[in-house]
Amino acid sequence: MKAVAVFPDEREVKVIERREPDIRAQDQAKLRMLEVGVCGTDRELCAFVFGTPPPGFDHFILGHESLAEIVEVGREVRGFAAGDLVVAGVRLPCADEECGACRSGHQDFCSTGNHREHGIKDLDGFMTEFVVEDHRNLFSIPKELRNVAVLLEPLSIAEKALKEAERIETRLPWRRTARRALVLGAGPVGLLGAMKLVESGFETFVYSQEPEPNPGAAIVAAIGATYLSTQSASVERMRERVGHIDLVYEALGAAQIAFYVLPLMAANGTYVFTGVPRDEQLLPFETRRVIANLVLTNQAIVGSVNAGRQAFLDGIDDLVTFQRRWPVALNSLITARYRLEEFRVPLLRANGIKNVIQVAC
């Protein structure tokens, strides 16, 4: 079978031939991969910024945003059958018995750093024709989501991050009735987070670098949110337009803008970081003002990585809701689909919002 593999030592990415995997344990399912989403993490892996092959290998198969069809199940598999559509989870737990997070099924909170991640760290990914996976790491997808289910993994990032923000807000001794959110970034994670925020009742603004008109801005307008561009509105002007900001959901990965927004949060506000900043030369930053705001106005900052099982389950429910409420906008998140052999186009010459490798029809 064919697969797209990264060779870190050789600094090469290419299509390889692999033996088709077989079920070796009765709790496994064999998957025919249908689609694999491409994101900034994949592009950094292809630029050899990070990425670790499985032990004993000099390469790893790329891809962590998946959609697959089950072709075979082991005798001990329950709840799944051949023909079912599924998405596979990305992060697997570490083996440390002292890691309470992993032992309780919350490997997204792994405390040792020894977790494994499909297509990223110590595990092959999904950009191949067939995969064998433990059925406990699979999520059943309704048929009605066939065209958008590959968005589940990036949506799960937003699900976890906003759930963390919701938990933090329970610290307040009253419940806010009107809430305003600012999303930093109009990529898939940002736009899916904006959909979640609008659905949750937030007045939502999306602040991104690309000037209007652009596909992301059109989606923002379609879901009833407001798009603002860094090209036409400085951070201070954006703050004047938005007003008080109760929640900042960062999905940009640009440290300078993220830090400039920090002092603009309202009292009792929450700031959630999900993006890992790229290399950039940072300008001076108002450290004293930020710390003073944090202390004097009870603000909270939290980082959120990857996503656990509940975030995927919540994401499935929300994809159904988004599909019914904003079908055109949701489908517009996927810019183009490419054949496996065309992997270099979305990986190395990215454009649009979400590009997808179509492994099988």
Per-residue pLDDT, 281: 65
Concatenate the DSSP letters of all residues of 10-65 into one string. Answer: TTEEEEEE-PPP---STTEEEEEEEEEEE-HHHHHHHTTSS-BPPTT-S-EE---E
Residue found by looking up tokens 């801005």 in the block: 217
Q: Give, in order, the Cα–Cα distances in Å from 171 to each of 155, 179, 244, 247.
A: 25, 16, 19, 14
* Bridge-based pairing state of the strands 226-229 and 203-208: parallel
Per-residue pLDDT, 188: 97
Tell me which fold the domain 155-303 belongs to: Rossmann fold (3.40.50)
132-151: burial string, b at 16+ Cβ within 10 Å, e else: bbebebbbebeeebeebbbb
- How many angstroms separate the CA atoms of 358 and 346, rounded? 12
Q: Give, in order, the Cα–Cα distances in Å from 293 to each of 188, 196, 274, 298, 331.
A: 30, 27, 21, 8, 40
Compute how many other C-beta atoms are within 10 angstroms of the C-beta atom of residue 246: 21
Residue spans per domain, the chain = 2-148+333-358, 155-303
- How many angstroms separate the CA atoms of 153 and 125, rounded? 13
Which residue, among 226, 152, 242, 143, has the nearest Cα to 189 in the 3D structure? 152
Separation of first and last alpha carbons in the chain: 16
> Cα torsion for 31, 36, 42, 45, to the nearest 10°?
30
36-58 pLDDT, tens digit per residue, is 999 999 999 999 999 999 999 99
- How many angstroms separate the CA atoms of 61 and 6, rounded? 6
Q: Is the dihedral of CA 156, 157, 160, 162 positive or negative?
A: negative
Level-2 CATH architecture, domain 2-148+333-358: Alpha-Beta Complex (3.90)
Task: Look at residue 70 and give its three-state secondary structure.
Answer: strand
Upper half-sphere CA count for residue 324 (Cβ side, 13 Å):
7
Q: How many helices (H) and strands (E) does the chain have?
A: 11, 19
Positions of the chain with pLDDT under 70:
279-283
Domain 155-303 in the same topology as domain 2-148+333-358: no
For residue 248, the cross-strand partners are: 182, 271
Treating both helix axes as pointing N-terminal to C-terminal, what angle do 309-325 and 188-199 enclose, rounded to 10 degrees?
70
Token pair for 246: 């109760």
* Bridge-based pairing state of the strands 300-303 and 334-339: unpaired
> Cα torsion for 209, 358, 192, 217, to the nearest 10°?
40
Concatenate the DSSP letters of all residues of 230-287 into one string. Answer: TTT--HHHHHHHH-SEEEEEE-S--HHHHHHHGGGEEEEEEEEE-PPPPS--PPP--H
Q: Is the CB of residue 16 less than 8 Å from the CB of residue 3?
A: yes
Report the predicted TM-score, pTM, of the whole model to 2 decimal places.
0.95
Per-residue pLDDT, 310: 96
